């Protein structure tokens, strides 16, 4: 296996450049932060950090189940979606097994598949959307065990209506499981998440407290699926992997609906401003159902990378898709007004330098 890191973090980039970023707009974190209730709960829990976390995440799991209208047996809490991806691949994929994803989709999933010896088969995006019809057709062709689809999508911010995914599921081959990554679902229009029976054996969903709830550093994700599948994770998961303080903070965040509504409003305003900054510089923002905006730089991937490099040089941390034609874009996370002030000043300078 090649040695690989799915993402180079902003801290590593800051060490390389010898200076901190002025605006951290690349990792799709919530710069608006977590619920004040979550912060207070975690501060109060800090004195008991000598205890292991609840191996079953009982309180958080039951609260999530109640909020979703499912049984607690249908919910699994884990160390962020990244951790849950690793567990799912370990559970289902043996060396040589076929797995299907989109070319340019979330690379951490691919990292886990490679690590457990799975064989990745990729299909291209279609009109900047992951293509469920092509994904399921490829799954039938290669007898795939697992199919990855993010809705809404990272890195493009695009999305499918839930009804369209339900219709496409008719073509998911028997024996394949759809892994539906819904990390950004709180920002998506109503109807984006497909209205499926939680016991449908064809689908497992994954969601997170890292985005809308602003707790990326706490590493709290959860899976929703058929009880038998969820129970199977107990065979292979790290039972004491969840941080106790993070569990307590996530429970407090889940119970603060007012803060979540405020963050969603702030993200919508920020995306509108990012779009306007892009247009003011002759660039095209793509529609987004996430907490970031993919901005079409109007040329090829080489030009977009020069723009990104210049922004980084100017102290603005952003990222970009890896695969053409999506790599014509840079991806900018929603930020606070002061963060977007920095972007507004830096973007024309970066574009000018990239065009030289």
135, 181: one domain: yes
Q: Is 78 in contact with 241 (CB distance < 8 Å)? A: yes
| Structural domain ending residue among the three candidates 255, 289, 304 | 255
CB atoms within 10 A of CB 353: 15
Q: Domain holding 294: CATH number?
A: 3.90.1150.10
DSSP for residue 318: -
Q: How confident is the model at residue 223 (pLDDT cuts 50, 70, 90)?
A: very high
99, 118: one domain: yes
242, 310: one domain: no
212, 164: one domain: yes
245, 302: one domain: no
The range of the structural domain enclosing residue 178 comes to 36-255
- 3-state class of 150 per DSSP? strand
CA distance 4 to 260: 35
CA distance 64 to 251: 8
pLDDT at position 224, please? 98
102, 178: one domain: yes
pLDDT in tens, 80-108: 999 999 999 999 999 999 999 999 999 99
For residue 217, tell me if it sits in a domain: yes
For residue 171, tell me if it sits in a domain: yes
Q: Beta strand 146-150 with 177-181: parallel, antiparallel or unpaired?
A: parallel
The pLDDT of residue 8 is above 90:
no
For residue 4, tell me if it sits in a domain: no
The pLDDT of residue 3 is above 90:
no
pLDDT in tens, 146-157: 999 999 999 999
Q: Beta strand 98-102 with 146-150: parallel, antiparallel or unpaired?
A: parallel
199, 219: one domain: yes
pLDDT in tens, 302-312: 999 999 999 99
For residue 333, tell me if it sits in a domain: yes
- 3-state class of 199 per DSSP? coil
29, 62: one domain: no
CA distance 83 to 61: 16
For residue 5, tell me if it sits in a domain: no
For residue 2, tell me if it sits in a domain: no
Compute the average pLDDT of residues 318-345.
Answer: 97
**Joined tokens for residue 127:** 């009109």
306, 169: one domain: no
CA distance 168 to 225: 19
238, 292: one domain: no
DSSP for residue 234: G
**Joined tokens for residue 16:** 């390389």
pLDDT in tens, 132-178: 999 999 999 999 999 999 999 999 999 999 999 999 999 999 999 99
What's the whole-number average pLDDT of the chain? 97
CB atoms within 10 A of CB 86: 23
For residue 278, tell me if it sits in a domain: yes
Q: Is 305 in contact with 238 (CB distance < 8 Å)? A: no
Q: Is 11 in contact with 317 (CB distance < 8 Å)? A: no
pLDDT at position 2, please? 66
For residue 1, tell me if it sits in a domain: no
pLDDT in tens, 30-52: 999 999 999 999 999 999 999 99
**Joined tokens for residue 339:** 């963060």
Beta bridge partners of residue 223, listed in sequence order: 76, 206
CA distances, 296 to each of 127, 284, 304, 307, 321 (Å): 13, 5, 8, 11, 11
The pLDDT of residue 53 is above 80:
yes
CA distance 140 to 134: 10
183, 212: one domain: yes
Give ∠ CA 171-101-146 in degrees, rounded to 5: 60
| Structural domain ending residue among the three candidates 255, 272, 304 | 255
20, 51: one domain: no
pLDDT at position 38, please? 98
Alpha helices of 23-157 — where are they, by DSSP H?
36-45, 58-68, 80-92, 107-115, 132-142
| Structural domain ending residue among the three candidates 255, 270, 301 | 255
pLDDT at position 1, please? 62
**Joined tokens for residue 46:** 């800090």
pLDDT at position 162, please? 98
Compute the average pLDDT of residues 7-36.
Answer: 94
The pLDDT of residue 205 is above 80:
yes
pLDDT at position 277, please? 98
**Residues 44-48: contacts with CB under 8 Å, at least 24 apart:** 45/244, 45/245, 45/248, 45/249, 46/245, 48/244
pLDDT at position 36, please? 98
Q: Is 334 in contact with 271 (CB distance < 8 Å)? A: yes
Structural domain total, the chain: 2
């Amino acid at each position: 296996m090649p040695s690989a890191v799915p993402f180079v973090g902003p801290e590593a980039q800051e060490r390389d450049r010898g200076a901190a970023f002025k605006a951290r707009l690349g990792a799709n974190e919530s710069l608006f932060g977590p619920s004040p209730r979550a912060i207070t709960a975690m501060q109060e829990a800090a004195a008991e950090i000598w205890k292991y976390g609840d191996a079953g995440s009982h309180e958080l799991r039951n609260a999530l189940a109640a909020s979703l209208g499912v049984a607690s047996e249908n919910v699994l809490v884990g160390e962020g979606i990244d951790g849950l991806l690793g567990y799912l691949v370990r559970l289902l994929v043996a060396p040589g097994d076929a797995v299907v994803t989109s070319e340019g989709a979330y690379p951490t999933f691919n990292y886990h598949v490679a690590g457990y010896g799975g064989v990745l088969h990729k299909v291209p995006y279609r009109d900047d959307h992951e293509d469920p019809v092509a994904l399921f057709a490829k799954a039938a062709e290669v007898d795939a065990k697992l199919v990855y689809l993010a809705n809404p999508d990272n890195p493009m911010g695009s999305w499918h209506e839930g009804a369209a995914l339900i219709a496409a599921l008719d073509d998911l081959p028997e024996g394949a499981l759809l892994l539906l990554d819904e990390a950004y679902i709180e920002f998506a229009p109503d109807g984006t998440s497909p209205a499926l029976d939680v016991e449908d054996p064809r689908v497992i969903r994954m969601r997170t407290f890292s985005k809308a709830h602003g707790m990326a550093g706490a590493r709290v994700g959860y899976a929703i699926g058929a009880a038998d599948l969820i129970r199977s994770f107990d065979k292979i998961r790290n039972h004491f992997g969840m941080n106790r303080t993070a569990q307590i903070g996530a429970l407090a965040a889940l119970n603060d609906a007012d803060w979540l509504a405020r963050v969603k409003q702030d993200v919508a305003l920020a995306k509108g401003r990012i779009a306007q900054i892009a247009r003011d510089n002759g660039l095209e923002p793509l529609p987004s159902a996430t907490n970031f905006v993919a901005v079409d730089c109007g040329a090829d991937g080489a030009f977009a990378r020069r723009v990104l490099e210049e922004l980084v040089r100017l102290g603005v941390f952003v990222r970009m898709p890896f695969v053409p034609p999506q790599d014509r874009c840079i991806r900018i996370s929603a930020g606070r007004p002061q963060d977007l002030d920095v972007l507004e000043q830096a973007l024309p300078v970066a574009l000018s330098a990239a065009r030289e």
